[in-house]
Chain A
Amino acid sequence: MILAVTGGKGGVGKSTLSFELGAALDAVVVDADVGMADLPTGPGPDLHDVLGGRADAVEAVREGGPVRLLPCGRSLAGARAADVRRLGEALRAVEAAYDTVVVDCPAGMRADAGVPLAAADACVVVASPQEYALADAVRTRELARELDAGLVAVAVNRVVGDAPEAVFEDVLGAPVVSVPTDPRVGRAVETGRPVCRVAPTSRAGRAVSSLARAVDRCSTV
């Protein structure tokens, strides 16, 4: 399956949760933030090359790290040359080779955020725990609905104390999983140590597992 991890705003933790979900689901994480990539890269072909028609999507997947990753280039020229219309085809090729794909979507409501949703079977919407973040989550859910990506769950990220779970559930009509603030989650991409693996019994680790189970349930239906 192709799972899009999305959310209208930048900085809510989409990349971090994509990385954690990739680890929990044993998936390939695709950094689809063509303009402002977050996940680590290195020498070798990346998503810019794939979308520019210079590399094959499956060949661009990096196998060596803690989570399999298809990184994205960071140059403006690469972002400009990337044709987002090739993204769906690239995601399906990776899915055919690896079964599960987690797409870290860019912020915003342009085509680079819409195409992964159109290609995805399901999505997880990431939101910050403030009530004002609800409006963004609603807009993202509407876009996902229009583009036929079923909403699996809403991840309310970096929760301190009680999250407004009931409000989010009421308004969005989807299960809400609160991911408590844990500095290890924030550092997971950098250290290469996903919390759901190194601290599976921590509250954050359990929240990621719970999100992964929700995704699994939806993919087996």
Chain B
Amino acid sequence: MEYDCTTDVAAGTTLVTVRVRNDAAVDRRVSVRNTLSGPVLPPRREGVPERGWDEEGFVGVVDAESERTFGYACPVVEACADPVSVESLGRVDGESGTDLEAAAVRRLGRARPPADAVPTSADAVPASGDAVPTRDSNADRCVPDRESRRHDDAESDAATVDEFAESPSANRASERVDPVESWLANVESRAARAERLTDATAADAAAVLETDADISALPAAVDADEAALRSFARRATALADRLAETDPEPAVDALAEAL
């Protein structure tokens, strides 16, 4: 099995291209192993490595009398005369096992609701000003009617709870998440992702990419989160101070006695 290999360096990462020629008259299985000191970052589709790739390299078939080109990235930069080792594993005997589930995800694409449709996503949190979603914020435009109504009424009308308990969708009541809780949970998960990406190597970044393919919006979301949390903290402190000043108990007790 003949091959030639070229490398290119970009942003601290070596991009390796290997061309493998199979001059035999039969299809042959080939193993392309990475010899650089870093892990292989294989080509992916929909976040799933292409068929035949793993952390070591590629194993697959090169058709008879033809040529196949492979490319991968490796998050190290080092001088190396031969960054790959290519080995023929002999002629192809029957179909090897394939991961149909990974192939289905690669080919068909994931069906996920877009981030904009999720009420508690980064986009639902205003970048500045009021941290908690209010009637005027972007958030309420995304929140389903039932949710926003609940939010608006929550402070003023305790009876709303009963109204919901009796509604036909009562069995879903347990699924409704407290908007503040879920907002904080979302911020926490973004913070964890941002921490993992802080001074990260390309391998760490790829690991994060595995868990969520869309991190392009993360830096902006983290900035917005920070601003929103600081503003929220100021407002919460002011509110707590106001509460500390109040003392409704004597009046309430007196009223209770009068009744």
Contact = CB atoms under 8 A, between A and B. Distances in A.
A76 B119 contact: yes
Nearest to B98: A148
Contacts of A77: 118-121, 177, 182, 186
Given A76-B117, A118-B104, A84 B110 contact: yes
Interface in B110-137: 110-113, 115, 117-121
Interface residues of A, number: 32
A51 to B, nearest CB: 11
B171 A40 contact: yes
Contact of B110 (A76, A112, A148): A112
B172 A115 contact: no
Interface in B82-110: 100-105, 107-110
A40 B46 CA distance: 31
Nearest to A147: B100
Given A42-B171, A85-B102, A148-B100, A113 B113 contact: no
Q: Do most interface residues of chain B lie in helix, strand or loop, or is the interface mixed?
A: helix
Contact of A43 (B107, B109, B174): B174
A217 interface: no
Interface stretch (A7-15, A102-110, A199-207): A102-110
A110 B111 CA distance: 6
A115 B182 contact: no
Interface of A: 34-35, 40-43, 73-77, 79-80, 82, 84-85, 87-88, 106, 108-115, 117-119, 147-148
17 contacts: A34-B111, A35-B112, A35-B113, A41-B171, A42-B174, A43-B174, A76-B113, A77-B119, A77-B121, A79-B112, A84-B110, A85-B101, A109-B108, A114-B107, A115-B104, A119-B101, A148-B100
